[in-house]
A and B are shown apart, each in its own frame.
Chain A
Amino acid sequence: MRTLCLPLIALLLSLMPASLMAQTPADAAKEINRIKLSKDYLYAETTMRDEAEALSGAQAILEMTISDWMASQKKGSNADAFIIQAKQHFTPIKTKRGEYHRAFVYVKKNDIIPVGVGSGTMVIENRNSQAVADEVTDNANEGTEVSSVEVLKAAVTLTSQEKELAAIRLFSEVEGKVKALQDADLLESYGKYKTLPQAGRCYLLVYDRQGNIAANLRREADGTLLNLNTMQDDNIENYKGCGAIWLQLKAGNKE
């Protein structure tokens, strides 16, 4: 009996590693197929020798897919603004086909059109909205002090770059501005609000759900915020429900 069992156990053991190794790609493939079968998502995929190229390729195709889908849904002509927002929700699944890398990137349709949709792309949260409202009321009663701040801030001079940032009115203009700053080698870094650096001067372009820029802010190293349009101190809590893109310009670009 023992003699008979040993070859069988050896056979079983030889089969086990193959099935275990196949587990992870199989799970990935299963998840990909689940998303493909759902009508809730837009997706794209590529299979290439280079993993990074496969991923960037899939993202590029997904951007075009979103653009085409927006056109088919007649969701407005400003697809670029929505694609920038949608990219924050791109989710990749990476697996392999032989020696090739398969990159699958998907996004939930609800995350593409933020207008009128639940949490959407809200990145600025106001956990104490009642308290803030009370503060605003209190400040409004201290007219003299507010006036003195206005006089002080009016003396601040903006650089030409800051004036250009202050002139941005639509979210769709942000991508072009970022690219222009990059091309001119003036941009240190940029990102979405949740990755806002703690240190250094940053510029915040706060946008609402309709794709309008709600505020153009300058955040100083000490955390204070200057509204580049009103030249007044501002507070991020004033923009509940909005999203924001931050930019840091290269040092020495202060004119």
Chain B
Amino acid sequence: MKKIFLFITLLSSLSVKADHIKVMVTDVDDPNIQAAMEATITVLLDEANAAQAAGRELDCSHLHLADGVSTSLSMLWENTPFMCEDTELVLRALTTSTGWQVRNIPLMMRPIGGNFNEREYHEAVLDFDRKGHIESLHLTIDQQLYMQVIKSNLEMTDLRRRQLILDYVERFRTAYNEKNKNFLEDIFSDDALIITGKVVTQRTKDGIKLPDKIIYKKQGKREYLNSLFAIFDNNGRINVSFDEIEVMRHPTRSDFYGVTLHQGYSSFKKNGAQGYHDDGYVFLLWDFQNEQHPQIHVRTWQPDAFDQTGSGQKTRIPKDQVLSLADFDIDDD
């Protein structure tokens, strides 16, 4: 009988140990900083798992995070509470100009008491400063899109640069979902060119259907953001998703990339009701001359399909009519 009790106690202790995530970070030359990074990630993931189990809010007050990181975590948790199911993680730290970056942190998105229609598995990226403190946290782009770019032929572009581009594309996407005005203010260059469009359905007075008309509007950064922030304020939730991606490197300006995305945009009213929805192509001209502070110089939107003949049937626009890097000249100054 004693043996059985002993066995049960042993099993319970194993189960308790499994709740604690063991994190090992490699490729950090300073053992103290390495230990600090490991401890921080462990505490963060343990707290996420504990909050998930208890169905409560995430409490990272004991992590002494910078305000920006706390805000990112809160917004992420509010949108999609997460947890980590791995019990032992070995994570490689990549050296950056400001410290280290730790990628591939596996997270499962698990909403508390609700349905979740999006993908469940995500990976997080943590940036650490030279002292081993978290500088920023974000999720990586969907793995399907990631692979589209990894397997594409981006001449002379290394894995790190591709990851950087994709990280910023994902941060750009989530900035809309999180209504992160500061990020959007920061990411658009002051002289950004923004082209938005709308599809106008046309009929004659007799009710005969005519081909749809696309009206494009050219805006500057301030005008676009003012309009966008008004939409943020007037709606309960915004959901932007990307399901296709194409990245082109500028043939002569090697730090400039054109990114074409197929975007789904939905807004939900404050009472939760579905508001507006459209699907279209978004083109972004990114400038990575300063990798720590990339900028978007151009953002355009086109519908992906519209009634081009008046038949009442929407057809996809041909690929060669989707705006791309070739449609824009970059001045040297």
Q: Does B106 contact A (CB under 8 A)?
A: yes
Q: Are B120 and A12 in contact (CB under 8 A)?
A: no
Cβ contacts under 8 Å, B88 to chain A: 29-30, 33
Residue in A37, A47, A65, A68 whose CB lies within 8 Å of B121: A47
Residues A36 and B158 in contact in the complex (CB < 8 Å), given A47-B106, A60-B151: no
Look across to chain A and name the residue whose beta carbon is closest to the beta carbon of B11.
A15
Those of A49-99 within 8 Å (CB) of chain B: 49, 53, 56-57, 60-61, 64-65, 67-68, 71, 97-99
Which of B142-150, B217-225, B294-302 touches A?
B142-150
* Min CB–CB distance A77 → chain B (angstroms): 12
Min Cβ gap B227→A in Å is 37
Q: Is B160 in contact with A68, judged by CB distance below 8 angstroms?
A: yes
- Measured in the bound complex, the distance between the Cα atoms of B4 and A8 in whole Å is 8
Choose among A9, A64, A98 the residue that contacts B159 (Cβ–Cβ < 8 A).
A64
Could you mark each residue 11-33 of chain A with 1 if its beta carbon is under 8 Å from any beta carbon of chain B, else 0?
Answer: 11001000000000000011011
Q: Is the CB of B120 within 8 A of A99?
A: yes
A46 at the B interface (CB under 8 A) = yes
Q: Is residue B309 within 8 Å, beta carbon to beta carbon, of the partner chain?
A: no
Q: Contact at B24–A68, with CB atoms within 8 Å?
A: no
Asked whether B124 is an interface residue with its Cβ less than 8 Å from the other chain, the reply is no
- Answer whether residue B90 sits at the interface, using C-beta atoms and an 8 A cutoff: yes
| A97-B121 contact, Cβ under 8 Å, with A68-B158, A71-B158 | yes
Q: Is the CB of A65 within 8 A of B143?
A: no
Taking the complex as formed, is A4 at the interface, i.e. its CB lies under 8 A from any CB of chain B?
A: yes
Contact status of A48 and B92, CB under 8 A, knowing A37-B24, A60-B151, A68-B160: no
For residue B161, which residue of chain A has the nearest CB? A68
Nearest CB of A to B142, in Å = 10
Contact partners of A33 in chain B: CB under 8 A: 24, 88-90
* Residues from 135 to 152 in A contacting B, C-beta threshold 8 Å: none
Q: Is A57's CB under 8 angstroms from B147's CB?
A: yes
B215 within 8 A of A: no
The closest CB in chain A to the CB of B22 belongs to A33
Return the chain A residue nearest B162 by Cβ.
A64
Which residue of chain A has the shortest Cβ distance to B27 in the bound complex?
A: A39
Q: Does any Cβ of B come within 8 Å of A154's Cβ?
A: no
Nearest residue (CB) in A for B5 is A8
Q: Given that A37-B24, A46-B143, A57-B150 are known contacts, is A5 also in contact with B85, CB under 8 Å in the complex?
A: no
Q: Collect the chain A residues with CB atoms within 8 Å of residue B159's CB.
A: 61, 64-65, 67-68
Q: Which residues of A sit under 8 angstroms from B143, Cβ to Cβ?
A: 46-48, 57
* CB <8 Å contact, B24 and A11: no
Cβ contacts A to B, 13 pairs, < 8 Å: A5-B4, A8-B5, A29-B87, A33-B24, A37-B26, A45-B104, A46-B147, A47-B106, A47-B123, A48-B144, A49-B119, A57-B150, A100-B121
Given contacts A5-B1, A60-B147, 6 further A-B contacts (CB under 8 A): A12-B4, A29-B87, A45-B104, A48-B147, A57-B147, A100-B120
Q: Which 9 A-B pairs have the closest CB atoms?
A: A36-B90, A64-B159, A33-B90, A57-B147, A100-B121, A48-B143, A60-B151, A8-B4, A68-B158
- Identify the A interface with B (CB < 8 A): 1, 4-5, 8-9, 11-12, 15, 29-30, 32-33, 36-37, 45-49, 53, 56-57, 60-61, 64-65, 67-68, 71, 97-100
Residue numbers of B with Cβ under 8 A of A are 1, 4-5, 7-8, 11, 24, 26, 85-90, 92, 104, 106, 108, 119-121, 123, 143-144, 146-147, 150-151, 158-160, 162
